[in-house]
Structure formats: structure tokens, C-alpha cells
Chain A
Amino acid sequence: MAGADSDDSLYPIAVLIDELRNEDVQLRLNSIKKLSTIALALGVERTRTELLPFLTDTIYDEDEVLLALAEQLGNFTMLVGGPEYVHCLLPPLESLATVEETVVRDKAVESLRKISHEHSPVDLEVHFEPLVKRLASGDWFTSRTSACGLFSVCYPRVSSTVKAEIRQHFRTLCSDDTPMVRRAAASKLGEFAKVLELEYVKSDIISLFTALASDEQDSVRLLAVEAGVSIATLLPQEDLEALVMPTLRQAAEDKSWRVRYMVADKFSDLQKAVGPEITKNDLVPAFQNLLKDCEAEVRAAAANKVKEFCENLPEDSRETIIMTHILPCVKELVSDTNQHVKSALASVIMGLSTILGKDNTIEHLLPLFLAQLKDECPEVRLNIISNLDCVNEVIGIRQLSQSLLPAIVELAEDAKWRVRLAIIEYMPLLAGQLGVEFFDEKLNSLCMAWLVDHVYAIREAATCNLMKLVEKFGAEWAQNTIVPKVLGMANDPNYLHRMTTLFCINALSEVCGQEITTKHMLPVVFKMSNDQVANVRFNVAKSLQKIGPVLDSNCLQTEVKPVLEKLASDQDIDVKYFAQEAISGEFSTIILKYNLHRCKLMTQHYVTLKLKKQKT
């Protein structure tokens, strides 16, 4: 790199710094984002001695600029001369870690964490650790908050005396009198515990955890829950009961719903961390309480975990626990007053059937599935239908088909198009499981009705659905049931429906094969090339290109080409364009080219307009 240093004279730092100081924020931001270019122009030496001190002094900029700076500096190690000099980056990042704006501070901490790994152990003690200490004892809460995220990265690689200091600083921050700092400490407690020696986990971390978990602010207590899970994974089984369980039990019954919600949300992790014995004795009753909680938020979070919790129960007592303790609560949740709770339950309840086996499923779960299929809220029904495959494996879908049908029909006609879209996506799965006969009898008409839905996304999904159905049921089925109906729409007075015929043909030609395409579909497409609406005509051109590969070359030459040529001399420019594109057959670039083509046309159009104006 030394060879290129002669270029430096071209770019005096003053010019570059002028750019970084420009009055316009956008320009300043642009130059900060290209900071690596500037550093490269200056070379490593001048970057260290001139650029970095300048940056350290300019930390009073707009937050957006500071954010970009904080991010850049995390990748600057090579630009200051490699790991040997990486500590030069600390002063500007230290200032950035104390600014008010959270996103800037977080980014600065992220960059500091990143470059901490590039420090040698000696540099870590000489440069990095003192920085952490300064931040930890800063006046304003922002620097102390930032410090919390830096302890765990330097702890493993420093000497034992420094380690003791770090632990002391962390302890102080855990009892800081600003709740923001305690929150930051609580959120990093688990991470810090992981790098500590086990003896210190027991002596230091546990007392901090207990204190934070009984903080006066619920926003601190709830963060301690997650830390509790991490700590539990670190401790040997025999210590869990005495060291973490009392605190966790208390959290599950905290007076603030936010804390209970957090416990419910982390329940599976917690279950894995504490092992089967404690799960049986403590977590089962706690889980029951959460499922019966007075706040819907908590119940919904717990309901989400029902399947995972049951799955991870110790095998020897799994069934009894589920049948005697969990199922009664689940039954109540099916008729909960809050729809989020019911829908959370509906998204996992089907999973219980594989755990409980055929007989229990039929006797106990089936009534619940049926009740949820009739729920007033579409989301609940949809969640049940979307998980049908779990039940199918255990008891077969036939058991449900009588209740399934009304539910599907109702969802298919739901007023919200997103609900309709969701049910369409499950059609191929349902068709496969219910069989062709049932489908023809009950569901076929629905699938056809979607083709004329007034929302494009639904028509599009319906087209794709037909293709998947043909893949399942075969070309012959297609020819008998759906192709006639699709082709019939070509005579519809609404041009959108006529276009749907073309979209269906695009999707179906390949799965239906050459014969059906040539014999039945192609004539319809040809007929539509005379449509009075231009959109239909250019879609004919697109369709012909699309189905071209399915047709034989003779047919292409003698039948398709003449039609395309006719379209290529259409009066409408778009029809012409697509016909020409289809002839040249460059499909992959067609869209791009088309857009360019439109742009050109537009510009030409405006130029002519302007010219006309000037003349008049």
C-alpha cells in the first residue's frame, strides 16, 4: 500500500474534512458513509493521526450521521493499520457510546464488541477495559447503559484481578438508581453469566438475579426472567431448586401481567433449562395458572406454548400430565372470551394429536377441533384448517369432513380478501386429503368462484390453485371438470374475466400437456386475439409465448405465428410490443425491455407535447 502514498498530496485532508463538515446534512451523511474511501486516500498513518482525532471531536452532529459513523468504525480495523492499531478506534466510539439516541449508542456498542475481538489480550487490558470502566462510571445514564453490553466481551480474556474489577462494576450497575441502567444490566445478565466461572455465577450472579427479579419496576423484573433461563442452563441440576426456582416461581405469579407474560413466552426454554423433575413438580402447576391467567395477553402467550410444553414433558408421565392437568385448561380456552387466545390455541392444538395418539384424539381432542372449526372468528378456523395435516396422520381427515365443509365454505366467502387468500392456499392440501370425489362434489364450485373474485390477488391465487389441483388429480380430470369452465369464461362480458381465462391457460398448459392445450385451449386463445379490449389482446400475445414450449413446432409455424404477426401490426402500441417480443421469443428480458420501452415512449410523448406548446 505504501507505493500509492504519493497520491495523498492530491487529497489534502482539509478538503476531505470540509466534506465531512458540509452544511447540508445529506452531503455530510454521504461523506460519512464513504469514510472508508477517505481513510484509504489518506493512508493508515494519517487516518490515525488526523482523521480519527477529527472524528472524535465532531461527535456533536445529527444522530443520523452519528449512526453511520458508529457503523463505519466497526469495520475500520484494516484502515488504521490492522489489529496492532485497532485501539485507535476506541476514542470516537467511546464518545458515540455516550450519546442520547438509543440507535446510535447501540450501534457504537455493537462496533465496540466487534473490534474487541481484534484486540490482543494486552491491548484489551491497557485500552479496552479502562474504556469500559469509564463508561460504567459515567455521569449520565447513557454511558452506563452502554457499558452493560461490553462486560461480557472483555471478561474472558483478561487477568483475574481485572476480572474481579469487572464483576464489581457489573454489580454496581445492577443496582443503579436509574431504571434505564438496571434494565440494560438485567438484559445482559444472562450473557454475562455465560462467560463467568461457575463459582462466581453462584456467588455473584444469583444475588444480582434475585435482586433484579424483585425490582420495584416491572420493566426490570421482566428482563430478569430471560436471564433466569440462561442462568438455569449454566447451573448443575442439584443447585437449581435452591438458587433459581424460588425467584422463578415468584415471577410466574408476579402482580404485573408483563412479567407473567414474559414467563409464559419463555416457558419452553425454561422447561428445557430446568429439566424433567422440576418441570413435573413446579412448571406444570405454573403452566396451568398461566393458561387460566386473568389477562388475555398472558393466556395467549401460554396457549402458544401448549404443544411444545406437552411435547417436552418427560415421556413416562407425559400422557397422565396432559390428560389430567393440561387438557382441562385447554378445554376452557376453546371457549375463551378473547379471540387472540383462541386463535393462538388453534394454531397449536392440532399438534397434540400426535402426542396423544388415535384413541385420545378421537375422544378428547376431536370435539375441541370441531368446536374451533365453528368459531365465530375466521382466524381461529383458519388456524385449525392450516394444521389439518397433523390430524390426518393420526386419525384421517374423514372424521372431520362433515364439519370441515361448512367451515371452508364460510371462509371461502369471507368478506376479507386476506382470509379468502389464506383458505385458497390450503385447497391443494385439502383436496389431496379429502380425495377427488369429495372435492368434485363439494369444493370444485368454490375454486371456480374464486376465478371471478373482484380482488386480483384472489383471482391470481385461484389460477395457481387450479394448476396445483391438476398436478394432484391429473390431466384427464382437468379436461372433464375445469377446462370447460375456464374456457367458457372467454365469452364473459367482463374483460377481467376474459383475461382470467388467459391466465389460467398460462398456468394449466404445461400440466395438461400438449394434446389438451392444442385441441382445446389454443382455439380459444386465437379467438381472443380479436378481442376489442387491448389488454386482452396483448395478453393473448403473452399467453402464446408462454404456452409455446408445450406446442409442437408445426403448430407454432402454421398457426401461432400468423396470429402473432397479425397482432404485431395491431393499432395499439402495447399489443404490438408484446407480439413482437413473443415472436423474438426473448421472454426473460421482456418485462425489463417493456418498461424501458414505455419510458422512451413517455419521453417522446412529452417532447412532442413541449414542441407543440412552443409552436403555439
Chain B
Amino acid sequence: NVKSPPPSATPPLPALPGRTPSVDKVDGFSRKSVRKARQKRAQSSSQFRSQDKPIDLVQLPLLKDVSAQEQPELFLKKLQQCCTLFDFLDTLSDLKMKEYKRSTLNELVDYVTLSRGYLTEQTYPEVVKMVSCNIFRTLPPSDSNEFDPEEDEPTLEASWPHLQLVYEFFIRFLESQEFQPSVAKKYIDQKFVLQLLELFDSEDPRERDCLKTVLHRIYGKFLGLRAFIRKQINNIFLCFVYETEHFSGVAELLEILGSIINGFALPLKAEHKQFLVKVLLPLHTVRSLSLFHAQLAYCIVQFLEKEPTLTEPVIRGLLKFWPKTCSQKEVMFLGELEEILDVIEPTQFVKIQEPLFKLIARCVSSPHFQVAERALYYWNNEYIMSLIEENSSVILPIMFASLYRISKEHWNPAISALIYNVLKAFMEMNSALFDELAANYKSDRQRERKKDKEREDLWRKLEELELRRGIQNSDGHNALFCTGKITGPGCHRKHFTF
């Protein structure tokens, strides 16, 4: 994990007295600025304006030390105390009270796990209030503009010692047998969920993990909020794809969606299909795809297993968003495509095979050997092979030219060997067609070249026409000389005026 430190983390470099550059060092790249691995940083939420006076909480007795009748009231009091927030960036302030809140939270976690009959109606608003106070906050600015989640260490939440317990408490509360969604829905409402979703942008993976469990439980228990949650996740994704390209919790949200899609009833609603085509597919275009690709591919395959007729739009979508310059992404796409082909129905395969294999032909002949290799691995997949065999009369003519050319030209010997195997497989499948294609290869290329030349001619003629009209027009108005533009044989069409 070697990366140059961000500006703010740069330690002051010691001044070098009387620097005399050595004569032989002409490469100009001295190693004076020793690159340092970035340290893990902790950052607190953006809510603390300077707090002047120390916080003082009255120490309450332990819940187990009071009688059963007194427990509910003490529980409420403790919940209220836990609404107090501490500044964790200041590591020296309020140490005693921070510890007190920690132990109280621990006690509350145990209490909701073990006790029975504690959940009276008035505890709901207090629990939700305590949780809201602690977890809902404006997330701090990301430390570097170009945060690279694969390279950089995430910024960790400083108040995690408390936050973790609050999340744990809330999850236990939601999972508790006594928990009644019908009562809780007054407090866990749309606004609550919206704030919860915003927190998924937290850079701290531990927090996102807790949020995932919380949201999953809420989705499971509050039927009335389901459509709303799905819609808001849609909005987050669309904003991520088309506006910011920055959101930390995409993988976690997709993971939840994976299980949601799993539970969709058949036939699928139009809303869900739209979600697949207009939200999930465009997620493939994002630069940081690698961070959530596994989860995304899982969601897509889930959809196709539910509803095979969606295969064609999905594959067409992938073809549309196929990476043009990023080979790493191309390899990921090929992986996803194989997952899709693993579950494709033969009738769907026939619908999509032509554009699909035109693409695969392109990948197979990619100069990037990992891309070519990944595509060629399809021929190791028995199911895909059986589909190809059934449709060899269509697929072979599409693939042949690329394979034939690359078998001679590819720089990487491993690829040449793989190609050879593929050609061999095709030959065994349909030797008559194979021979015919091989025989026609040369003339086909010539025909293509001729077509290319015709195209060039067409455009040349068109440009001449444009030029002539430009001159005609301009001559009529004497415009060329008026506007000071140069005429003559070298006159480019850009000079053309109406």
C-alpha cells in the first residue's frame, strides 16, 4: 500500500544543508521524498463546534441492582443520558464520562437482549431518539478529493467506541422478540430511513456493515417503508452514476438489494424491471466498478433467474456500456457475462447471439492478453460450449475472421495456443462450414477493403461537393474576399460560408 501521502499528512521535511547535487545523478529522480504509506486516520463527524464546558452526567445505579418495577423508568433515564455526545477528536476531554457512557451502552445492549417485558409503548420514541442523536450526523469532508478506495486507507470514525454500541443496541432492539413494527412505525418513518441511507456514505467500513444489518431488518419488518426505501436507493444510485461518482456504500446497498430481489414476487412489476434497466445497468459505467461489481453481478443474475425474458435487454445494456479503454473493467464485464450465460435459456441465447458474439470476437482479438484470455475461457465452459455448438452455423461465421487473424498475429503465445484450441473445437463442430470460411477468408478481406475504399470515396466526393457549393455560394456574393478568407485549391471546407 505505497502511495504518496496527501498534502495534509506530509510531515515537514528536514531542511538539507548545502545541497550539492551529485554529478553522476543525471536521471533527475532522487529518492529524497521518501514515499510513506498513509497512516490510518480517524475523523470525527462534522458536528462539534467548540465545546467549552466539560460534560457531567449523574451516575445512575445498574439496572440489575433495582427492582423489576423500577427498571423501565431507569431504562428510560439511561436512554436519555446516552443522548449526550462527546468529542472524540479531543482525546483528553471528559474521559471519565466517555467511559461511563460506554459502560451504560453496554448495559443497555445486554438489557434489550436478555430482558422480557421492557418494551413498553413509551420506550419506542426514546430508543429512536437516542439512536438518532448518536448516529445521524453530517459526515465530514473526505480527506482527499480523489479518494481511491482501493489504495487509500478509509477514514475511520473517531467516536466508534460509542457508535458501535449504539448500532449494536439498535440491532438487538429491532431483532428483539417483543419488538412491534406496528408501534415502531410512528418513529421509524420515511425521514428516519432517509437519514439512515445518507449514512451509507460513511467512509468507515465498520459503520457501513452495521448500517447494512439495520436497513435489512427495517426492510424486513416495515412493509410500509419498502417502496420508499427502494425509491431512495434508486435516487442514491442515479445520483452516484450521473452526478457525483462518489458514494461509499454502493456495495452494501447492492448486497441488501440482492436479497430484496430474491424475494420479488412473479411476474415482476414494471417498477422492478425499470430498476434493472435504468439503474442497475448504468451502474456498470462507474469508474470504481471494481468495488461493487461482485454484488452488482449477483443482483443482475438474480433478476435473470426470476425472469429469463429480461436476458436480451440486460445483455444489450452491457454491450452498450462495454468499456472502451479500461481493460480491467472489460475483464469484469466478461466475468459477469459468463455468469449470465451460465443461467441463460437456449431460446434467449438465440435472440442475442449475433451482437453478443460480435463483441466476443472483438474481445478475443484484444491486444490486452488478459481480456483475450478471459474471453477465450468461455470455451472451457461446458454449458456455453453446448450453446455454441447448437448455433455454430451462426456463431462460427461471426468469430472466424478474428480467430483466424489473431491465431497468426497475437503477440502472446498463450493466447495463440488458446485460439488454436478454439479453432480446433470449431473445426470439429462444423468442418464443412469451417473449410468454406477458411477458403473464403482472403476474398472476404478483399471485399471489406473494397468497401472501405468506397466509403472513403463517398466522403471525399461529399466534401468536394460541400466545397464546390461553398465556393459557388461565396462567389455569388463575393463573400470569400469580403470575409478575408483564402480561396483556391487548398481551400479547406472549414472556410466554407453560406
**A interface, CB within 8 angstroms of B:** 1, 3-4, 7, 10-11, 15, 19, 23, 27, 34, 37-38, 40-41, 62, 78, 100-102, 140-141, 178-180, 183, 216, 218-219, 255-257, 292, 294-297, 338-340, 376-377, 379, 410, 413-416, 449, 452-456, 492-494, 496-497
Contact A34 B138 (CB under 8 A): no
Smallest CB gap from B136: residue in A: A255
Report Cα–Cα, A340/B21, bound state, in Å: 31
Listed by A's residue number, 14 A-B pairs whose Cβ atoms lie within 8 Å are A4-B468, A4-B469, A10-B465, A40-B465, A178-B235, A179-B239, A180-B239, A255-B138, A339-B8, A340-B7, A410-B15, A493-B23, A494-B26, A497-B23
Smallest CB gap from B141: residue in A: A297
Q: Known contacts A4-B469, A41-B462: does B191 contact A100 (CB below 8 Å)?
A: no
Residues of chain A contacted by B191 (CB below 8 angstroms): 216
Interface residues of B in 225-279 (CB under 8 A from A): 235, 238-239, 242-243, 278
Q: Does B447 contact A (CB under 8 A)?
A: no
Interface residues of B in 454-495 (CB under 8 A from A): 455, 458-459, 461-463, 465-466, 468-469, 472-473, 493
Residues of chain B contacted by A295 (CB below 8 angstroms): 46, 140-141
Q: Does B381 contact A (CB under 8 A)?
A: no
Stretch at the interface among B28-36, B60-68, B91-99, B127-135: B28-36
Report Cα–Cα, A254/B391, bound state, in Å: 63
Closest 7 A/B residue pairs (Cβ): A376-B12, A415-B32, A454-B21, A494-B23, A102-B242, A256-B138, A297-B141
Residues of chain A contacted by B461 (CB below 8 angstroms): 10-11
Report Cα–Cα, A296/B144, bound state, in Å: 13
Q: Does B443 contact A (CB under 8 A)?
A: no
Contact of B462 among A37, A140, A218, A294 (CB under 8 A): A37
Residues of chain A contacted by B16 (CB below 8 angstroms): 413, 415
Q: Does B206 contact A (CB under 8 A)?
A: no
Stretch at the interface among B47-55, B111-119, B333-341: B47-55
Smallest CB gap from B18: residue in A: A413
Contact of B243 among A102, A140, A452 (CB under 8 A): A102
Residues of chain A contacted by B10 (CB below 8 angstroms): 377
Residues of chain A contacted by B414 (CB below 8 angstroms): none
Smallest CB gap from A64: residue in B: B324
Chain B 326-348 near chain A by CB (<8 Å), digits 1 or 0: 00000000000000000000000
Contact of B465 among A41, A78, A454, A456 (CB under 8 A): A41
A sample of 6 more A-B contacts (CB under 8 A), given A3-B472, A41-B462, is A100-B242, A179-B239, A180-B235, A297-B141, A415-B30, A494-B26
Contact A11 B138 (CB under 8 A): no
Contact A34 B242 (CB under 8 A): no
Q: Known contacts A102-B242, A180-B243, A216-B194: does B30 contact A454 (CB below 8 Å)?
A: yes
Contact A141 B238 (CB under 8 A): yes
Report Cα–Cα, A19/B457, bound state, in Å: 13
Contact A455 B7 (CB under 8 A): no
Contact A257 B140 (CB under 8 A): yes
Most chain B C-beta atoms within 10 Å of own C-beta, residue among A178, A410, A454: A454
Smallest CB gap from B44: residue in A: A294
Smallest CB gap from B15: residue in A: A410
Contact B24 A494 (CB under 8 A): yes
Contact B21 A453 (CB under 8 A): yes
Contact B47 A4 (CB under 8 A): no
**B interface, CB within 8 angstroms of A:** 7-8, 10, 12-13, 15-16, 19-28, 30, 32-33, 46-50, 138, 140-141, 191, 194, 235, 238-239, 242-243, 278, 282, 320, 358, 455, 458-459, 461-463, 465-466, 468-469, 472-473, 493, 498
Contact B15 A413 (CB under 8 A): yes
Contact B462 A454 (CB under 8 A): no
Most chain A C-beta atoms within 10 Å of own C-beta, residue among B15, B24, B48, B472: B15
Report Cα–Cα, A165/B140, bound state, in Å: 42
Closest Cβ of chain A to B233, distance in Å, is 13
Closest Cβ of chain A to B49, distance in Å, is 5
Contact B472 A456 (CB under 8 A): no
Closest Cβ of chain B to A431, distance in Å, is 21
Q: Known contacts A179-B239, A454-B26, A454-B30: does B12 contact A377 (CB below 8 Å)?
A: yes
Give the total number of A-B pairs whose CB atoms are below 8 A apart: 115
Most chain A C-beta atoms within 10 Å of own C-beta, residue among B10, B25, B358: B10
Residues of chain B contacted by A62 (CB below 8 angstroms): 320
Report Cα–Cα, A434/B352, bound state, in Å: 77
Report Cα–Cα, A180/B243, bound state, in Å: 9
Contact A7 B13 (CB under 8 A): no
Smallest CB gap from B498: residue in A: A78
Contact A140 B235 (CB under 8 A): no
Contact A100 B278 (CB under 8 A): yes
Closest Cβ of chain A to B464, distance in Å, is 10
Contact A4 B239 (CB under 8 A): no
Residues of chain B contacted by A27 (CB below 8 angstroms): 455
Q: Known contacts A4-B472, A294-B48, A340-B7: does B28 contact A456 (CB below 8 Å)?
A: yes
Residues of chain A contacted by B239 (CB below 8 angstroms): 179-180, 219
Closest Cβ of chain B to A163, distance in Å, is 31
Residues of chain A contacted by B27 (CB below 8 angstroms): 454
Contact A15 B458 (CB under 8 A): yes
Closest Cβ of chain A to B396, distance in Å, is 18
Smallest CB gap from A297: residue in B: B141
Report Cα–Cα, A413/B20, bound state, in Å: 10
Closest Cβ of chain B to A340, distance in Å, is 7
Closest Cβ of chain B to A381, distance in Å, is 11
Closest Cβ of chain B to A497, distance in Å, is 8
Smallest CB gap from A257: residue in B: B46
Closest Cβ of chain A to B475, distance in Å, is 12
Contact of A34 among B32, B141, B459 (CB under 8 A): B459
Smallest CB gap from A3: residue in B: B472
Smallest CB gap from B48: residue in A: A294
Report Cα–Cα, A454/B28, bound state, in Å: 5
Residues of chain A contacted by B141 (CB below 8 angstroms): 257, 295-297
Most chain B C-beta atoms within 10 Å of own C-beta, residue among A255, A294, A456, A496: A294
Residues of chain B contacted by A257 (CB below 8 angstroms): 46, 138, 140-141
Contact B462 A496 (CB under 8 A): no
Q: Known contacts A140-B278, A338-B8, A494-B24: does B466 contact A180 (CB below 8 Å)?
A: no
Report Cα–Cα, A141/B274, bound state, in Å: 13
Closest Cβ of chain B to A21, distance in Å, is 13
Contact B21 A294 (CB under 8 A): no
Report Cα–Cα, A140/B278, bound state, in Å: 10
Report Cα–Cα, A456/B25, bound state, in Å: 12
Report Cα–Cα, A377/B465, bound state, in Å: 63
Contact A1 B469 (CB under 8 A): yes
Smallest CB gap from A8: residue in B: B465
Smallest CB gap from B238: residue in A: A180
Residues of chain A contacted by B49 (CB below 8 angstroms): 294
Closest Cβ of chain A to B235, distance in Å, is 6
Closest Cβ of chain B to A409, distance in Å, is 8
Residues of chain A contacted by B472 (CB below 8 angstroms): 3-4
Q: Known contacts A454-B30, A494-B24: does B7 contact A339 (CB below 8 Å)?
A: yes
Closest Cβ of chain B to A604, distance in Å, is 26
Closest Cβ of chain A to B448, distance in Å, is 11
Most chain A C-beta atoms within 10 Å of own C-beta, residue among B20, B22, B466: B466
Closest Cβ of chain A to B54, distance in Å, is 18
Report Cα–Cα, A294/B51, bound state, in Å: 11
Contact A179 B235 (CB under 8 A): yes
Report Cα–Cα, A179/B242, bound state, in Å: 13
Contact A40 B469 (CB under 8 A): yes
Residues of chain B contacted by A41 (CB below 8 angstroms): 462, 465-466
Smallest CB gap from A100: residue in B: B282
Closest Cβ of chain B to A60, distance in Å, is 9
Q: Known contacts A102-B242, A496-B26: does B235 contact A37 (CB below 8 Å)?
A: no
Closest Cβ of chain A to B132, distance in Å, is 13
Report Cα–Cα, A102/B245, bound state, in Å: 12
Report Cα–Cα, A452/B235, bound state, in Å: 58
Closest Cβ of chain A to B121, distance in Å, is 28
Contact A19 B455 (CB under 8 A): yes
Most chain A C-beta atoms within 10 Å of own C-beta, residue among B26, B191, B242: B242
